[in-house]
Amino acid sequence: MYLIPPNDSWAIKFAKFVDRFGTLKISILFVIFTLLFTLIGSYIVRTSLGSQIETVDFISPLVLTLLSAPWLLYFFSKLIKQLEHSRINLEEAVSQLERLRKHDVILNRELQNNIRQLNHEIEQRRNAQLERELVFEELEREIKEKSEQEMQARRLSTLTRSIIDASPDLIYYRNEEGRFAGCNRVAEEVTGKTEAELLGLTPHQVYDEQLARQVAASDHEVLETNASLTEELWLQYADGRRRYFEMRKVPFFDQDGHRLGLLAFGRDMTDRKQAESAIAQASKDKTKFIATISHELRTPLNGIVGLSRMLRDTQLTKEQFDWVSTIYASSITLGNIFNDIVDLDKLDRDKVEIDLKTVNMREFTNEISSIVSLLAQEKNLRFKSEIIEPIPIAIEADGTRLRQVLWNLLFNAIKFTQKGEVKLTVEAVDQGAGNAKVTFRITDTGVGIPTGELDKIFAMYYQVDHPDHKSATGTGIGLAICKQMVDKMGGEILLHSVVGQGTCFEIVLPVAISQKQAKLVELQVSNLNILLVEDIELNVLVAKALLEKLGQRVDVAMTGTAAIEMARKTEYDLILLDIQLPDMTGFDVAKVLHDEELVLQTPIVALTANVIKKREEYLQNGMDDIITKPIKKSRVIDVFNELFGAQQMHDERCLTSEVVSIPKVDKTLDVDMLQMLVETIGEDMVRTSLGMFKEKIPEYMELLNVSLAANEKAEVCSQAHKIKGAAGSVGLLRVLQIANRIQEGEHPAWWENVHDWVAELEMAIEKDVDHLLEWVNENKIDD
């Protein structure tokens, strides 16, 4: 470090003083001061020496001073200036050195920082090197593990491929473009191509056109919805074999969620399909057998029930009356046992229907009681029937099913009661809002049921294994059917029994109280001109006698051909049509009658012993109602009253006759709706609607036929729905009904019948539109 002279030293102050006041001024002052100093000095020296002071003594010092002082002053001024410049330069040098020192300090600090940073980087690089070495070691380990994993993956891939190829299922993969991207051995066998040959091909390049369209359509649906799909289809192997496959297709995604295509798995279900077909065929055979037996058994049973019932109404001795009553009750028993067998088949096929109708409670109870009392008399048992008031006059219930349940329970009560009585009690509890809970209680004093058997008594084919029950046996299906019937009616069946004391069954049904007036037992129409179509003479005898006794006129046709010819010649008020005829079925007869428009205003009622079919099946085949065999008087009265109404019209128009006026029913037009349209929207709008229908219906029919030709079931149903709506808006009743049949695509025989229905629809449109125009003109709807 350099030392800087202090600024307050005398030399520096003098130099600054000289520099501040100027050299000239200082020189003059210095000369004056020197002269004074010389004079004073000389004076003092002379005085101190005691010499005489003279002027000359002062002149020489003055001269000497004047001669030497300038040079001395010049020398010193130069020296001072030089010193001042040196000082200034020195200060500048010192300042520069100080700056350099400070800069050096800064550089030193930076150098130290750099050294520290360098040391830190060296340490970091040393650590990084160690880390790299560790990474290399880890990488080597991972590479080794990856190699082992790849080896394992290859082994697993080989194993998986072997498993897939060994699988009996068909497996393939398609990419987003619908091209094959992989498959297994079964797929190669089916297509007749190796996996390498299949790669990049589309279904249209592998399958026949129809199958390719089906496969491509399901593939498209999977890719459109990103959802799995299951379909069943027949595939033909390269060697010509056809097998039935259940195909499961699922979208396939990578680990990032990007869809790659779809996977398809197909299982050969041919054996299952054949087994299902065999089971279905067996079921059909069983149903056909039961239907055949139903017809064959009910035909003679119809005669026994009908003739014994009519015989009881004649003059008989008490003994004869008892014999006839026994025949009548036995035939009813046989009929109900057979009903159980038929219902068992229906329950197996889930074909049992609950048909709610108005049931008169007292008449219903009395009807059952009258038959059961005959059975009780045969065993010398007492039978009591009690109605606990108050009960509704009429309820909405399936009288046929309820009668069957009660009959089974009452018949069992009589069968398992050796002495004492059997009692039927009916009571009801009003639950408000037009609803009630009706309880039918059947009690007996029979052998009873052991406690351990109570939970099993309603099982199918179960029979109590107890010594007290050996005297009475049965099929074991009655109670099981009762339980299922009651469940379908929304009720419950309760059981209480004590061995040796008796049994009590309770049937509790929630029902709606009928708001309609209870049906009258009396027939409300007479003198109908009826065509009875029946090929069995015994049935003809019973039915004709019953109808004539009810005040009707009856013509008989023994074949379908004869019935058609008679309908062509005579316009009947009603046709009772047996379904099984020697030359054709009743359905065929009904179709001809409808096609030739012979029954536009004539109801057709099916007479059938086949209770296997649903009621809707008869209605869809041209029937207006059905009467099952054996023919019951009550059922005939119900059907006649429903078809022709309770119109006892005794006015001036029927003064000459007591015949009830029979309203003609137009089966092609909804006349009530048309009259309502005229009254509400006016005559012009009715004509406008009809004109629009005539304009649009050809387009609808063309689309329907095109869709049917392309086997597009959904589109056919859609077009039929449009036609149905259009027909309903202009009152074309028959067109509406046929279109409704076509739109119900879930019908089991839809494909077998749809072409006939479409032809029938075209014919109905052609004829019924003209008929509607005639109706419009006859009712004077003018523009």
Question: What SS3 class is residue 421?
Answer: strand
Residue 65, phi then psi, degrees to nearest 5: -65, -45
- Here the tokens at position 711 are 């086997």
* Whether residue 460 has pLDDT greater than 50: no
Q: Can you read off the two tokens belonging to residue 314?
A: 């004649």
- Which band of pLDDT confidence, cut at 50, 70 and 90, is reported for residue 740? confident
- 3-state SS assignment for residue 524: coil
pLDDT at 441 (0 to 100): 92
Q: What is the pTM of this model?
A: 0.40
What pLDDT shows up at residue 408?
A: 81
Count, residues in the chain: 783
- In the chain, what is the greatest distance between 2 CA atoms, to the nearest angstrom? 220
In this structure, the dihedral spanned by the alpha carbons of residues 626, 631, 632 and 637, taken in order and rounded to 10 degrees, is 50
Tokens of 582: 């020697």
Distance of CA 445 to the CA centre of its chain: 53
Closest of 701, 696, 686 to residue 775, by C-alpha: 686
Looking at residue 439, its pLDDT comes to: 92
Read off the pLDDT of each residue in 478-504 and give the average, rounded to a whole number.
83
Task: State the pLDDT at residue 402.
Answer: 84
Report how far residue 224's alpha carbon sits from residue 586's, in angstroms, rounded to the nearest whole number.
49
CA distance 566 to 599: 12
From CA 46, how far away is CA 35, in angstroms rounded?
A: 16
pLDDT at residue 375 is higher than 80? no
Distance CA 637, CA 615 (A): 18
The helix/strand/coil state of 171 is strand
Average pLDDT over residues 184-204: 83
Comparing CA positions, the residue from 643, 532, 638 lying closest to residue 586 is: 532
Confidence band of 335 (pLDDT split at 50, 70, 90): low
CB atoms under 10 Å from CB of 702, counted, come to 11
Provide the pLDDT for residue 481. Answer: 75
- pLDDT, one tens digit per residue, over 420-451 is 989 999 999 888 888 889 999 999 988 888 77
Which of 1-5, 155-159, 653-657 is least confident? 653-657
| pLDDT at residue number 173 | 82
Contacts of 261 (CB under 8 A, 6+ apart): 173, 174, 175, 176, 181, 251, 252
Residue showing tokens 């259940």: 246
With tokens 């600054």, the residue in question is 16
Nearest to 182 by CA among 190, 172, 192, 191: 172
pLDDT of residue 425: 92
113-117, 484-488, 692-696 — which is least confidently predicted? 692-696
Greater model confidence, 19 or 193:
193
- CA–CA dist 288, 580 (Å, integer): 13
Distance between alpha carbon 162 and the CA centroid of its chain, in Å?
39
Q: Taking a C-beta distance cutoff of 8 angstroms, is the pair 229, 180 a contact?
A: no
Q: Which residue has the higher pLDDT, 150 or 652?
A: 150
What is the model's pLDDT at position 464? Answer: 54
pLDDT score, position 1: 46
d(CA 623, CA 621): 6
Check: CB of residue 612 under 8 Å from CB of residue 290.
yes
Compute CA distances 667 → 393, 622, 692, whole Å.
34, 11, 23
Q: Is the peptide bond before 582 cis (omega within 30 degrees of 0)?
A: no
Does pLDDT of 141 surpass 80? yes
Closest CA to 546 of 225, 303, 350: 303
Tell me the pLDDT tens digit for each residue of 57-95. 667 667 777 776 666 666 766 667 777 777 778 778 888
Contact status, residue 579 vs residue 585, Cβ threshold 8 Å: yes
| Structural contact between residues 443 and 502, judged by C-beta atoms closer than 8 angstroms | yes
At residue 682, the 3 state secondary structure works out as coil
Kindly tell me if the per-residue pLDDT of 389 is higher than 50.
Answer: yes
- Residue appearing with tokens 């003209």: 770
Sheet holding 529-533, edge to edge: 553-557, 529-533, 574-578, 604-608, 625-628
User: Three-class SS string for 139-198?
Assistant: HHHHHHHHHHHHHHHHHHHHHHHHHHHHCCCEEEEEECCCCEEEECHHHHHHHCCCHHHH
Cβ(447)–Cβ(408) below 8 Å: no
Whether the pLDDT of residue 674 is over 80: the answer is no
pLDDT tier for residue 756 given thresholds of 50, 70 and 90: confident
For the residues 535-548, what does the mean pLDDT come to? Answer: 75
pLDDT of res. 43: 76
Record the tokens describing residue 705, joined without a space: 């036929």
What pLDDT, on the 0 to 100 scale, is given for residue 18? 67
Q: What amino acid occupies position 29?
A: L
Strand partners, 242: 236
The tens digit of pLDDT for each residue in 32-61 reads 777 777 777 777 777 777 766 676 666 766
The percentage of residues in the chain with a pLDDT greater than 90, rounded to a whole number, is 2
Range from 39-43, 264-268, 376-380, 720-724 carrying the lowest mean pLDDT: 39-43
The residues near 494 (Cβ < 8 Å, ≥ 6 apart) are 505, 506, 507, 508
Residues in CB range of 745: below 8 A, 6 or more apart: 713, 714, 716, 717
pLDDT score of 526: 81
Q: Can you give the C-alpha Rg of the chain in angstroms?
A: 61
Query: What's the mean pLDDT when you consider all of the chain?
Result: 76
pLDDT for residue 677 is more than 70: no
What pLDDT shows up at residue 655?
34
Cβ distance 627 to 642 under 8 Å?
A: no
557, containing H or E segment: strand 553-557
